[in-house]
Structure 1
């Protein structure tokens, strides 16, 4: 990836990270239950993909050579990686240092939401109790679990990034 494209992706990654922190702070301040809503998670995913796609588009515009698949994917993924890493560090600090009780509250809210969802799908009571027991025993906001979640997020974003890179890559000119 060319230096100007890398600079754009890095800038967008920082903007993305700061934006995600702002969103988390607002959700934390106004209503912790937002973190348990499916649409909130989907909205965050869409926001990340849009920001990374914008970075890829800008990187393509400043590219002085053929903008290959590798360049498009690199611009997209660098943005996602930096933005979500910044957000991850903030989440670790917020839920493990600043307010560990918020993590406990969120776990309780997540358990309630999971119970309602599983009952709505008609899951057997024994299966519901087993799933909820596992959730109570495991701290979702521990450093290890947040790092695992980050890893899975990166995989998901990378898969989406493959599609974004296919859209933004330039084809080799052919003489036919």
Structure 2
């Protein structure tokens, strides 16, 4: 018998992936510099958490047994995993196959943004130059670096997922 909560989480994961792909494609098409804006990243994070929370809520509604912390976390994390994996694959194809020049342009924009931010915080010129040199030497869009970034992203979403699971879990009622 198919687990309805798993089916819901999988569906929401696909919806999340499609939504992220559309957002990234629109940002790519209209203004690459959006990828360097802090608020764009925060907006994507909020979008992911909202859709994963909606998935967890729906999974709780269809649950026929006690919706434990483990169930809530699994529903949330499966949605995040599938959605962000779809987005990762799209990003890899876009920046490593379709338009490698966009990856170079984004690296330059990121360097400019980093320089401005570090200067704004009053960082010494030596430290700024060191950070920029490291960014120039390392390809942010390589397969290995994108997988590393994905791993760190999953850790962040998992930490948020712990909080979401606490909110949506059901406690066993105790008769004292």
* TM-score, normalisation: structure 2: 0.99
Task: Describe how 1:16-31 pairs up with structure 2 within 5 A.
Answer: 16-31=16-31
Q: SS of the residue aligned with 2:108?
A: helix
CA deviation profile, 1:10-29 (whole Å, cap 9, x unmatched): 00000000000000000000
Match of 2:83 in 1: 83
How far did 1:155 drift?
A: 0.2
Match of 2:36 in 1: 36
Query: 2: CA distance between counterparts of 1:142 and 1:21?
Result: 19
Match of 1:134 in 2: 134
Match of 2:51 in 1: 51
Query: 2: CA distance between counterparts of 1:75 and 1:20?
Result: 19
Match of 2:93 in 1: 93
Query: 2: CA distance between counterparts of 1:29 and 1:93?
Result: 15
Match of 1:103 in 2: 103
Match of 1:149 in 2: 149
Query: 2: CA distance between counterparts of 1:95 and 1:142?
Result: 9
Runs of 5+ in structure 1 lacking a partner? none
How far did 1:173 drift?
A: 1.0
How far did 1:70 drift?
A: 0.2
Query: 2: CA distance between counterparts of 1:73 and 1:160?
Result: 10
Runs of 5+ in structure 2 lacking a partner? none
Match of 1:166 in 2: 166
How far did 1:71 drift?
A: 0.1
* TM-score, normalisation: structure 1: 0.99
Query: 2: CA distance between counterparts of 1:19 and 1:142?
Result: 23
CA deviation profile, 1:66-105 (whole Å, cap 9, x unmatched): 0000000000000000000000000000000000000000
CA RMSD of aligned residues (A): 0.6
Query: 1: CA distance between counterparts of 2:24 and 2:42?
Result: 14
How far did 1:135 drift?
A: 0.2
